Structure 1
């Protein structure tokens, strides 16, 4: 057997070679069809400050409404491993940054914004507004920016991510106990409401350098709200994604209807509405991110 044949018999190479060939073919086709375009010369002017979250294993409480039998219960904890780092905006998108997109005629003006200081999080924006800004920023920087998922926010927020569990000791068969706990929590949350957005950095940074998470601006995610039904033993019977209602996260989770800009006017599917709605974005750093961006520019979402 030749040295070349021996090398090809290596299991690792048997896996890597096809992947490398596929990557080369994909890149070649993308280049020939004009998918890859040079980064705009002004990209650095629009690139936001980011932090990189290192890979780790972490636990957080699942999103969604969980029903066992006919009774609402706390969502279960789940432990996940993120094997790749995550690049995410250090700060929420500011009013000034968003205003440039508005001036370009791409983004809609935020709703109910009476303050003029630009160095505050933009608020009064809905899910579609955030998606429009992400597409605009992607075009300005030549990079792929998207809303984070609930899991990605949990990964980035670390110890600041909220745990919405009531932690009740009953088995969920007495709904009055949960209703009372819910009433008490909503009363406590309403008593500490602070609706005026503050200057970026006012709420400090977490252990990864992420700024202002869990302050008075809830952040849109790309995660659909869901209802999960369990049997009496806790096994999943059904799980229904309710897209059109998306998870927002602040000091608690709040599923919000996608078109709502002012949460105080309604639209919160479950629990206490947020003080404000804003967002931050994640940057795709995979080698194939330019191809994904090009496909999305053409209306193809993978």
Structure 2
């Protein structure tokens, strides 16, 4: 376990986590839940002028730290849930399971996984809100990608990112450098479901980082994937689909917001 990793210890009565610390909760069988990174509270400018659905650019304040999955939920993580609940395992398209991000999962599937994870750990797991996702993706940056305005080479997995998996298949999680918050694959690999309902722009959007429910029945997707062009990987880019839709470039990561370690 990394030097800045922590595990809950009932013999320790006082613990003050720091931004960037990582931890893993235990499941009832003694195995570990997804590895989480503590993301600090802060403010950022959400959106961009690149597309009408990314307007207006607006101030968002994340009032409390939260923990976000260090990686996209993997097949290894998700298959534990499937085995425990008798749920059919999603197809891996022949690319392998293990440390590859789970694919062919819908928003509804992701919700059920979060509910199971919460039951297993006694903590509150859920999908990230759209504001939390963009805040974590940007990690204090204002450029199109956390590393700059150009896609560069071999910084992410997409069609045109210069990696060996680009436009071919998913990459094992953690195959590229993390962003300044210590989060991997915030750009590319698989699209990530968010909690929010879809709204066509940000007029009337919450400014406190909370989920924006309602909308047209669709659910928000962020981050782009291995099969998308670099423009789809921008920090501000938004997409959506039906909550029961699944595909080989859709996955998710989880948030834990309960106070026992945060």
The reply to whether TM is greater than 0.5 is: yes
Residue 77, structure 1, aligned to residue 57, structure 2: yes
Deviations 1:179-208 (A, max 9, x none): xxxxxxxxxx86666241111101321000
The answer on whether the counterparts of 2:170 and 2:190 sit within 8 Å (CA) in structure 1 is yes
Larger radius of gyration: 1
* Equivalent in the alignment of 2:226: none
Deviations 1:100-155 (A, max 9, x none): 11112354422453223411110111101100110111111111100011001012
The farther-off stretch of 42-51 and 133-142 is: 42-51
1:83-94 correspondence to structure 2 within 5 Å:
83-94=63-74
* Equivalent in the alignment of 2:177: 204
Structure 2 residue corresponding to 1:52, chosen from 31, 38, 49: 38
Structure 1 residue matching 2:195: 3-state secondary structure: strand
1:95-174 correspondence to structure 2 within 5 Å:
95-111=75-91, 113-159=93-139
Count of residue pairs the alignment pairs up: 199
Deviations 1:46-89 (A, max 9, x none): 332111111111112079x85xxxxxx75111112222111111
Deviations 1:262-289 (A, max 9, x none): 16xxxxxxxxxxxx100011002247x9
Residue 260, structure 1, aligned to residue 260, structure 2: no
Change (3 A) 1:254 1:108: farther
Change (3 A) 1:44 1:57: farther
1:223-242 correspondence to structure 2 within 5 Å:
223-228=196-201, 241-242=214-215
The answer on whether the counterparts of 2:197 and 2:213 sit within 8 Å (CA) in structure 1 is no
**d(CA) in 1 for partners of 2:58, 2:111:** 28
More helix as a share of residues: 1
Which stretches of structure 1, 4 residues or more, deviate above 4 A after TM superposition?
159-164, 189-193
Change (3 A) 1:134 1:40: same
Instruction: Please give the root-mean-square deviation of Cα atoms over the aligned residues, in Å.
Output: 3.3
Structure 2 residue matching 1:199: 3-state secondary structure: coil
Gaps of 5+ in 2: 1-24, 146-157, 204-211, 224-232
More strand as a share of residues: 1
Gaps of 5+ in 1: 1-38, 67-72, 165-188, 231-238, 264-275, 290-302
* Equivalent in the alignment of 1:285: 258
The farther-off stretch of 250-259 and 134-143 is: 250-259
The answer on whether the counterparts of 2:54 and 2:238 sit within 8 Å (CA) in structure 1 is no
Change (3 A) 1:260 1:142: same
